[in-house]
Amino acid sequence: MAVSMASSPSIPDEAFVFLGAQSARRTGAARLRQAAEKEKPMNSRIYFDHSATTPLDARVLHTMAPFFGGAFGNPSSLHHEGRVAREAVEKARAQIAALIGAEAEEIVFTASGTEADNLALIGAVRASGMPAHIVTTAIEHAAILETCRFLGQQGTKITHLPVDAAGVVRTESLLRELQSNVTLVSIMTANNVVGTIEPIEELAYLTKLHGVLFHSDAVQAGGKIPLDVNRLHVDLLSLSAHKLHGPKGVGALYVRKGVKLSPIIFGGGQERGLRSATENVAGIAGFGAAAEIARRELESESARLAKYREHIVRELARQFPNFYIFGHPLHRLPGHLSFGFRGQEHRCGRMISALDAAGVAVSAGSACSAHHAGEPSPVLLAMGYDAERARGLLRLSLGRFNTEQEVERFLEILLRTISSRGLESHSRPIAAAESLAAAVV
Ligand code: PLP
């Protein structure tokens, strides 16, 4: 039967260029970035949507490549081919464990961050064998909120903790809930929409004092801020490879030794019986390489990206008195900036389209919000914004291959886009500290 390709979207030529592919064997993000700059066509697109997904690092691709070719074995097989695959899976397990201060046998591979979240919540409720109560927040990703909705329909009590205007979970409200019987507390490490980092160490510590399990969705935080499962006191922690320059379709759940979980997928008993299915060896090997690179380069990369973000904030605050930022001013992901222009919220969607047409990819909140276009972000509503303000969010999330030149080019394009759309610009110089304070809602 002929397969029609007529409706396939066309893939542009530049998509076949792998950033830094010329130097895949060289280590160091800076050298890779230089090589990537050379490989990128002039005026190439600027990708500022790393919270949605990240480009695969060429070093990761290099690690994955053999598993699409000669190294095709099944890790459960006992022969040579199987052992080669098993070795790659176990190496990756140790690399991911090292990123979060865990032991290798505490890492369970899944097919996504979403699945890791599902396994944590459904697995803990089923393993408890009692009427369950999950305490979570109103600002979680859909992978948590929808899993809670499902469990709620099955009889689990679900409580959503409130957050303050910066998106920080209120400790007092958690303490109040911990007075009753709670099965599991699930609070994200960093929010995907506003970039706020939650005080997990404190929240999990209080939870553990009450003998309750603590899960954190660290899909946005993994590889971007230092994470140590012991310092954080977490029992369960979700990660996803494609948010740290690894491949899509691979996730992991950290399960502290001794924590009881029931599987949600049944079959051959892989992953200590917690996640049956033949392992995605290439994806897992890529995840391991991505985790190792992220761990090595975390300090320098987070400083570099935070510097770019501060520069963008200062420039926008200098140019636009109605500019404001969403989320916590200090406790936020390094390359992440969510902002709006007071009184211009209704133009947000058109601004994102205009930026896209001008070669810049930014987003309106989260990739998932594309399924709910036009609806105000539930995260911002939970933070106390009204529906109008909650529709006016632009999200920039920078990553490893972004350069200073791109930041400058982005600012030029944004200013041009805004002035051509009639948003007023004021070049009044404000002291940096004042501009930041003015920018924070
Ligand atoms: N949790 C958070 C906070 C996320 O931002 C995402 C994805 O955007 C997910 C979970 C889901 O991860 P995945 O895309 O690997 O399913």
What the chain holds in terms of domains, given with CATH numbers, is 19-56+298-439 (3.90.1150.10), 64-293 (3.40.640.10)
Specify the ligand 1 atom closest to the Cα of 191. 3
**348 catalytic residue (yes or no):** no
pLDDT of residue 423: 55
Mutate to test the pocket of ligand 1, among 216, 243, 284 (most ligand atoms within 8 A of CB): 243
Angle at the Cα of 366 from the Cα atoms of 360 and 367, rounded to 5 degrees? 75
149-153, 160-164, 309-313, 388-392: segment of lowest average pLDDT: 388-392
Residue nearest to atom 5 of ligand 1 (CA): 192
pTM across the whole model: 0.91
Q: What is the pLDDT of residue 174?
A: 98
Instruction: Determine the distance separating the centroid of ligand 1 and the alpha carbon of 279, expressed in angstroms.
Output: 20
CB-based contacts of 124-128 (< 8 A; 24+ apart in sequence): 124/183, 124/184, 124/213, 124/215, 124/236, 124/259, 124/260, 124/261, 125/151, 125/156, 125/183, 125/184, 126/261, 126/262, 126/264, 127/260, 127/261, 127/262, 128/183, 128/184
Q: Which of 146, 192, 197, 244 to mutate to test the pocket of ligand 1 (most atoms within 8 A of CB)?
A: 192
Cβ 338 under 6 angstroms from ligand 1:
no
* Structure-block tokens of residue 188: 């994200």
Contact predicate 53/367, CB 8 Å: yes
- Within its chain, how far is the Cα of 318 from the centroid? 29
| CA gap 78, 324 in Å, rounded | 59
Q: Which atom of ligand 1 is nearest to the CA of 241?
A: 15
- What does the pLDDT read at residue 39? 64
State how far the Cα of 246 lies from the Cα of 288, in Å rounded to an integer: 8
Q: What is the DSSP letter of 137?
A: E
The string of pLDDT tens digits covering residues 59-105 is: 999 999 999 999 999 999 999 999 999 999 999 999 999 999 999 99
pLDDT, residue 8, reads 58
Low-confidence winner among 9-23, 126-140, 257-271 (lowest mean pLDDT): 9-23
pLDDT at residue 43 tops 60:
yes
Q: Which residue has the tokens 């963008």?
A: 312
Q: 137 CB less than 6 Å from ligand 1?
A: no
In the predicted structure, residue 387 carries a pLDDT above the cut 50:
yes
> Which one is predicted more confidently, 21 or 371?
21
Atom of ligand 1 nearest to the CA of 366: 8
By alpha-carbon position, which residue is closest to atom 13 of ligand 1? 113
Q: Does any ligand 1 atom lie closer than 6 A to the CB of residue 251?
A: yes
Cβ atoms of 295 and 101 closer than 8 Å:
no
Rounded Cα gap, residues 94 and 80, in angstroms: 21
**How many Å from the N-terminal Cα to the C-terminal Cα in the chain?**
59
CA of 422 to the centre of ligand 1 (A): 36
pLDDT digits (tens, 9 = 90+) for 308-346: 999 999 999 999 999 999 999 999 999 999 999 998 888
Question: Mean pLDDT in the chain?
Answer: 90
Evaluate: CB of 188 within 6 angstroms of ligand 1: yes
Ligand 1 within 6 A of CB of 192: yes
The residue written with tokens 């603590």 in the block is 214
Cβ(369) – ligand 1 distance below 6 Å: no
Cβ 319 under 6 angstroms from ligand 1: no
Residue 345 has what pLDDT? 86
**Per the residue annotation, which of 361, 368, 436, 441 is the catalytic one?**
368
**6-24: pLDDT as tens digits:** 555 677 776 666 666 655 6
- Choose the weakest-confidence range: 238-247, 277-286, 315-324, 369-378: 369-378
- Evaluate if residue 375 carries a pLDDT over 80: no
For ligand 1, what atom is nearest to the CA of residue 368? 8
191 close to ligand 1 (CB < 6 Angstrom): no
Question: What's the rounded Cα separation, in Å, for the pair 146 and 118?
Answer: 9
All residues at 6 or more sequence positions from 232 whose CB lies less than 8 Å from its CB, including other chains = 200, 201, 204, 216
State the distance from the centre of ligand 1 to the C-alpha of 5, rounded, in angstroms.
30
| pLDDT band at residue 3 under the 50/70/90 scheme | very low
Tens of pLDDT, residue by residue over 188-229, are 999 999 999 999 999 999 999 999 999 999 999 999 999 999
Question: Which residue's alpha carbon is nearest to atom 8 within ligand 1?
Answer: 52
Lowest mean pLDDT among 37-51, 79-93, 278-292, 414-428: 414-428
Bridge partners, 323 (sequence order): 341
